[in-house]
């Protein structure tokens, strides 16, 4: 029995306290709420959903009984007078104003029995509502499966159609139910020697044949085909009817074609599914675009997470089907649209120029923006964010292009209703030839042990807490050594960053044994998605005798956003060893702040762009304060990195940032793991 709410109306709270003690001593889980005025009763009815209103001392009450009864009736809550029967005249006077129940206050068992029954009835009603909702969702999914079935199925009653699925309409060459609404089976079927009138009368009496009925079916366009009809009892909209399954005799070829279509089609939206889309995209990569330029548009509705919480499964399906129709209407013939995840779509577009590719994305944005999704009695506005990745000569395969487009879409979703084109963020790479040069440099450095780590202190402005060090991996070069910003993006994209991690981490862990500080180690995108990395890392810790509590794995915010599930898996496997997680390049945007909800984070490192010239930039000060407030709510510590001057320290201190690193320390970095 759950804890129920009961309202007690009286000038004094003493009656409510007595009733609360009485019910709880009887073993009833109840929350008794004392109310005095009509406004208090209205507020309680709005928020507390009581199972009963007890009206005590009617001759002394501030709220009239008839007014309370009207309020209770609006919320379907019973009202009972709780009074003794020694003064029947006063009781009759109260009941004359408005009818209600009466509970004798002198018989306490009457109150406990009444409340117990009301609570049980409330639970029964609640369970009934849940079952009804579950039944409605089952019916929706059954109807969806029925409508998506490759079998031609109709429900008939007294020789007329009451329901037809898509396959049935397609077999008859019709577009919608309205065309068959008045069509009699007697007019469209020829069963040879079988008398159809007698046959259907037998069906209505429950006389269903064991064998299929051979018929010729006449379409409205006067063409005919042979088919077998299989009948079985059914119900539709609560009424008994007959299910009729039509099996065409020439359906072998159509069946093969239908199976191929189902293999490639998303059953809900009727667009291509992800597998079919990837096959088409891989073919485009291998043979080249059909026109001068091609790109993949990755599309997702803005605020989709909130809509999932707001809408039921049924209405969410309707929402997605509606938006799939928007995309189909906005693209050109020759473009390929697909549903590539639960709530995401992708379109392969072919155009004559890159400008036209961008315009294709803008057209979809405009179509979304100007559309109203109608679901039952509700009307929802829709907008979307689109990421675009071109299909060029550097494209390796469909997963890579989809991943790039998805990354750009994530960036577009920060502001919403926008299009972002994927461009590699390379500081030192300005051309395709330049990227190839970097690839060769990285491979050479791996072969010649040219990667090494530098330690940078992170100080606590309070002078408390444990000491921390961050380990930054550099690559030696002929004209100066390169920080991660120069080579990391190329290494990740070419699947070499994980190899760098595995080359540098064992040496780092060995140096930690003789130190007392907590150590931050950056982990690449490649390692995050590598299923074997957590086990390998645990083995390295064991081999070096490193305590897990002193190790902090650092992941960039954009990498965690793109690879959320792998990041969760990584920490799930390493958290038992004592390892902590830090998120770098952390900003005040919604996608970064959401990471605090989804990952077990110990530290966040503020994006350096937010701490540049902090004393003069009020917008950045607000962003830093927003990050600190969100982090404190999750018991996460905040680090400010790359602080170049002491003037920013006061602002950071006032904002609540106590962990600082940067050039202002004027310390000589320690080189490790050569």
pLDDT in tens, 27-54: 788 888 888 788 888 888 888 778 888 8
Q: Looking at domain 265-421, which CATH architecture does it have? A: 2-Layer Sandwich (3.30)
Q: Are β-strands 79-83 and 52-56 bridged in parallel, bridged antiparallel, or unpaired?
A: parallel
Q: What is the pTM of this model?
A: 0.41
Asked if pLDDT for residue 485 goes beyond 60, the answer is yes
Which run of H or of E encompasses 454? Answer: strand 451-460
Gap between the Cα atoms of 563 and 525, Å rounded:
8
Asked if pLDDT for residue 430 goes beyond 60, the answer is no
- Model confidence at 363, pLDDT cuts 50, 70, 90, reads very high
State which fold the 4-125 domain adopts: Rossmann fold (3.40.50)
For 83, list phi and psi in degrees, rounded to 5.
-150, 160
The class that CATH gives domain 149-256 is: alpha beta
Asked if pLDDT for residue 3 goes beyond 80, the answer is no
Task: Give the residue carrying structure tokens 């909209």.
Answer: 237
- 480 dihedral zone (left: phi>0; alpha: psi -120 to 50; beta): left
Q: What pLDDT was estimated at residue 569? A: 92
Q: What angle do CA 647, 652, 654 make, to 5 degrees?
A: 105
Instruction: With beta carbons less than 8 A apart as the criterion, state whether 453 and 439 touch.
Output: no
Q: What angle do CA 631, 635, 639 make, to 5 degrees?
A: 55
Specify the DSSP class assigned to residue 602.
Answer: S
Other residues' Cβ atoms within 10 Å of the Cβ of residue 458: 21
Which neighbouring-strand residues pair with 53?
Answer: 7, 79
DSSP string, 342-410: SSEEEEEEEESSHHHHHHHHHHHHHHHHT-EEEETTEEEE--EEEEEEE--TT---HHHHHHHHHHHHH
Which neighbouring-strand residues pair with 474?
Answer: 452
For 477, list phi and psi in degrees, rounded to 5.
-140, 165
Tell me the CA distances in angstroms from 605 to 469, 501, 504, 641, one per residue in order: 13, 20, 22, 7
- Residue limits of CATH 3.30.450.20 in the chain: 149-256
Helix 533-544 / helix 564-574 crossing angle, nearest 10 deg: 30
- Residue limits of CATH 3.20.20.450 in the chain: 432-672
pLDDT in tens, 492-530: 888 899 999 999 999 999 988 878 889 999 999 999 989
pLDDT in tens, 233-261: 988 877 888 999 998 876 655 666 667 77
Q: Are β-strands 224-236 and 239-248 bridged in parallel, bridged antiparallel, or unpaired?
A: antiparallel
Q: What pLDDT was estimated at residue 498? A: 92
Gap between the Cα atoms of 174 and 188, Å rounded:
13
Q: What pLDDT was estimated at residue 209? A: 87
- Residue limits of CATH 3.30.70.270 in the chain: 265-421
Q: What pLDDT was estimated at residue 667? A: 56
- Model confidence at 280, pLDDT cuts 50, 70, 90, reads very high
Instruction: With beta carbons less than 8 A apart as the criterion, state whether 526 and 567 touch.
Output: no
Specify the DSSP class assigned to residue 184.
Answer: B
Q: What angle do CA 100, 106, 107 make, to 5 degrees?
A: 80
Task: Give the residue carrying structure tokens 């029925």.
Answer: 146
Tell me the CA distances in angstroms from 237 to 143, 145, 155, 201, 378, one per residue in order: 12, 17, 11, 21, 23
Asked if pLDDT for residue 339 goes beyond 70, the answer is yes
Q: What pLDDT was estimated at residue 396? A: 60
Choose among 616, 601, 618, 603: nearest CA to 661. Answer: 603
Asked if pLDDT for residue 126 goes beyond 90, the answer is no
Q: Which CATH number fits domain 432-672: 1.10.1840.10, 3.30.460.10, 3.20.20.450, 3.60.110.10?
A: 3.20.20.450
| Structure tokens, 131 | 């079952």
- Residue limits of CATH 3.40.50.2300 in the chain: 4-125
For the ranges 80-94, 352-366, 472-486, 644-658, the maximum mean pLDDT occurs at: 352-366
Specify the DSSP class assigned to residue 332.
Answer: P
- Model confidence at 428, pLDDT cuts 50, 70, 90, reads very low
Q: What pLDDT was estimated at residue 100? A: 77
Q: In the predicted model, what is the mean pLDDT of residues 443-458?
A: 84
Which neighbouring-strand residues pair with 390?
Answer: 295
| Structure tokens, 127 | 């369970």
Higher pLDDT, 377 or 543: 543
Asked if pLDDT for residue 429 goes beyond 50, the answer is no
Q: What pLDDT was estimated at residue 252? A: 58
- Model confidence at 474, pLDDT cuts 50, 70, 90, reads very high
Asked if pLDDT for residue 301 goes beyond 60, the answer is yes
Gap between the Cα atoms of 398 and 284, Å rounded:
9
| Structure tokens, 449 | 């042990």
- Model confidence at 230, pLDDT cuts 50, 70, 90, reads very high
């Amino acid at each position: 029995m759950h804890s129920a709410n009961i309202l007690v109306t009286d000038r004094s709270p003493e009656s409510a306290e007595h009733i609360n003690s009485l019910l709880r001593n009887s073993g009833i889980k109840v929350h008794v709420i004392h109310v005095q005025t009509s406004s208090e009763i209205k507020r309680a009815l709005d928020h507390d959903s009581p199972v009963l209103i007890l009206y005590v001392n009617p001759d002394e009450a501030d709220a009239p009984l008839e007014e309370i009864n009207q309020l209770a009736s609006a919320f379907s809550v019973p009202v009972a007078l709780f009074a003794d029967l020694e003064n029947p005249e006063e009781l009759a006077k109260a009941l004359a104003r408005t009818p209600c129940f009466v509970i004798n206050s002198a018989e306490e068992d009457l109150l406990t029995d009444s409340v117990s029954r009301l609570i049980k009835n409330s639970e029964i009603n609640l369970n009934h509502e849940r079952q009804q909702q579950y039944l409605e969702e089952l019916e929706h999914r059954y109807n969806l499966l029925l409508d998506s079935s490759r079998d031609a199925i109709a429900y008939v009653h007294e020789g007329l159609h009451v329901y037809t699925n898509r396959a049935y309409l397609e077999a008859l060459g019709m577009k919608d139910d309205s065309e068959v609404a008045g069509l009699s089976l007697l007019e469209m079927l020829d069963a040879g020697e079988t008398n159809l009138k007698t046959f259907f009368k037998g069906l209505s009496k429950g006389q269903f044949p064991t064998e299929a009925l051979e018929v010729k079916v006449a379409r409205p366009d006067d063409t005919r085909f042979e088919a077998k009809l299989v009948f079985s009892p059914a119900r539709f909209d609560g009424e008994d009817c007959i299910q009729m399954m039509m099996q065409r005799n020439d359906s072998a070829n159509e069946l093969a074609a239908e199976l191929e279509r189902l293999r490639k089609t998303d059953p809900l939206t009727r667009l291509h599914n992800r597998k079919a889309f990837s096959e088409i995209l891989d073919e485009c990569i291998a043979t080249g675009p059909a026109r001068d330029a091609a790109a993949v548009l990755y599309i997702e509705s803005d605020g989709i997470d909130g809509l999932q919480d707001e809408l039921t499964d049924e209405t969410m399906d309707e929402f997605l089907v509606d938006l799939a129709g928007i995309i189909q209407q906005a693209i050109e013939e020759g473009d390929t649209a697909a549903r590539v995840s639960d709530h995401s779509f992708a379109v392969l577009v072919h155009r004559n120029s890159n400008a036209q590719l961008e315009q294709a994305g803008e057209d979809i944005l405009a179509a979304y923006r100007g559309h109203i999704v109608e679901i039952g009695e509700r009307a929802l506005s829709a907008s979307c964010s689109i990421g675009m990745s071109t299909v060029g000569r550097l494209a390796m395969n469909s997963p890579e292009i989809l991943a790039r487009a998805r990354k750009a879409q994530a960036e577009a979703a920060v502001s919403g209703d926008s299009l972002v084109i994927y461009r590699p963020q390379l500081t030192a790479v300005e051309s395709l030839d330049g990227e190839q040069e970097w690839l060769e440099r990285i491979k050479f450095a791996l072969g010649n042990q040219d990667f090494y780590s530098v330690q940078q202190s992170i100080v606590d402005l309070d002078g408390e807490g444990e000491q921390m060090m961050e380990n930054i991996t550099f690559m030696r070069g002929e004209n100066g050594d390169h920080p991660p910003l120069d080579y990391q993006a190329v290494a990740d994209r070419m699947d070499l960053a994980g190899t760098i991690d595995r080359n540098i981490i064992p040496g780092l862990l060995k140096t930690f044994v003789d130190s007392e500080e907590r150590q931050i180690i950056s982990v690449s995108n490649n390692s995050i998605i590598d299923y074997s990395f957590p086990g390998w890392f645990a083995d390295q810790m064991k081999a070096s005798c490193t305590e897990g509590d002193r190790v902090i794995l650092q992941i960039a915010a954009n990498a965690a956003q793109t690879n959320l599930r792998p990041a969760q898996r990584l920490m799930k496997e390493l958290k038992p060893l004592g390892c902590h997680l830090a998120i770098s390049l952390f900003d005040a945007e919604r996608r970064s702040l959401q990471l605090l909800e989804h990952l077990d984070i110990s530290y966040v490192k503020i994006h350096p762009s937010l701490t540049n010239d902090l004393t003069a930039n009020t917008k950045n000060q607000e962003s830093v304060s927003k990050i600190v407030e969100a982090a404190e709510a999750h018991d996460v510590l905040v680090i400010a990195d790359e602080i170049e001057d002491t003037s920013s320290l006061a602002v950071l201190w006032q904002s609540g940032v106590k962990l600082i690193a940067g050039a202002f320390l004027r310390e000589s970095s320690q080189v490790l793991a050569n």
